[in-house]
Amino acid sequence: MTDPVLAVRNLRVYYGTPRGAVRAVDGISLDIDPGEVLGLVGESGCGKSTLGRGILGLLPEGAVSDGEVLYGGRNLVGLSRKQLRRLRGPDLGLIFQEPMTRLNPLLRIEDHFSETLSQHAPGLSKREIRNRSLETLGKMGIPPTRFRQYPYEFSGGMRQRIMIALALVLRPKLLVADEPTTSLDVIVEAQILAVLADLKRDFGTALLLITHNLGIIAEACDRVAVMYAGRLVEEGPAREIFASPAHPYTRELLRSTISLETTGLHSIPGAPPNLIDPPSGCRFNPRCPDVLRVCPDEFPIPVRLEGDRRVECWLHGPKEKIPSGAAEPLEREKLAAADGA
């Protein structure tokens, strides 16, 4: 057994708005071990990107956070921007979701890499900076002939690859990848997954992979964390969760994917709730096909299952905490309830 690279304990991130606090991340706990890939999956608006940025301390004005984000024995929550900046790069890396807005249009690609490496690895010579930059870009399929070009001379997919290379060039110990394969074709997507696998194997990098693509989760991840309405509703080994999902939300997500065996489209009724005023009890209860009488009234207690799995659902107990008669199915119109939530 080894200590986790990252240990998150009861992390909360709220955004202040005129209508009230948006509970984007509401009590999340998770661990990531060295060389492990943890996939974070869920619908849009469930708080996945906020969790990734909250871990790295990259929150906008008006956001507040509390809890613990433990890295190297230090709690990152509450550190100053200067202290966090020292950790970003060689220790903590981030692949942004929108490459078109992250690259400076006035700087050549060469300048982006030179600035990154000179700030975070000041001991490198100009030749070493150039060689490491070209090596990393080459792994992303970008030839040396394009090193001195500007961002506008690249397609959206190539800009995404440059952003990934900028995150990988410092070989961070923990990498948060927020939709790293968005807008890329399947061939380039496979190349990037191979590079991430190499980073894990060669440097023991721990990776938090945020994505909507369950195919990528199945191929690239060791464990899966399923997020809904600011909470982790299920977590465990990827193979076991895909074979036997415990939470109704996980099951419905998997049913909504398309495969060669798909004969009809499936969707989850309704939409994720308003996080200013989420539903009482289990937050998935207005959309859940297996809702019990206890679900709208009592917040579910996390339960440990076999195989190092955790689920937050009354279907799995603890039975002694459910009031008498409240474990029965609740008959009601799910679609109407979901639309009114």
Q: What is the pLDDT along the chain (341 residues), one digit of tens a residue?
A: 578 999 999 999 999 999 999 999 999 999 999 999 999 999 999 999 999 999 999 998 889 999 999 998 899 998 888 888 888 888 898 887 766 677 899 999 999 999 999 988 888 999 999 999 999 999 888 999 999 999 999 987 788 889 888 988 988 899 999 988 776 778 878 877 887 888 788 778 899 999 988 888 888 899 999 999 999 999 999 999 999 999 999 999 999 887 777 788 888 999 999 999 999 999 999 999 999 999 999 999 999 998 889 999 999 988 888 888 888 888 755 434 444 44
pLDDT at 335: 39
As a whole number of Å, the CA-based R_g of the chain is: 21
Alpha-carbon span 337 to 170, nearest angstrom? 49
pLDDT at 37: 94
From the number of C-beta atoms within 10 Å of its C-beta (0-12, 13-18, 19+), residue 158 rates as: buried
Assess contact for 245 and 205: CB atoms under 8 A. Answer: no
pLDDT at 338: 44
Alpha-carbon span 164 to 69, nearest angstrom? 24
pLDDT at 279: 93
Assess contact for 47 and 230: CB atoms under 8 A. Answer: yes
pLDDT at 100: 64
Location of structure tokens 């009488």:
293
Retrieve residue 250's tokens. Answer: 């996980």
Q: Got the DSSP string for 250-308?
A: HHHHHHTS--TT--S----SS-PPPTTSPPSSSTTTTT-TT-BTTTTTSPPPPEEETTT
From the number of C-beta atoms within 10 Å of its C-beta (0-12, 13-18, 19+), residue 107 rates as: middle
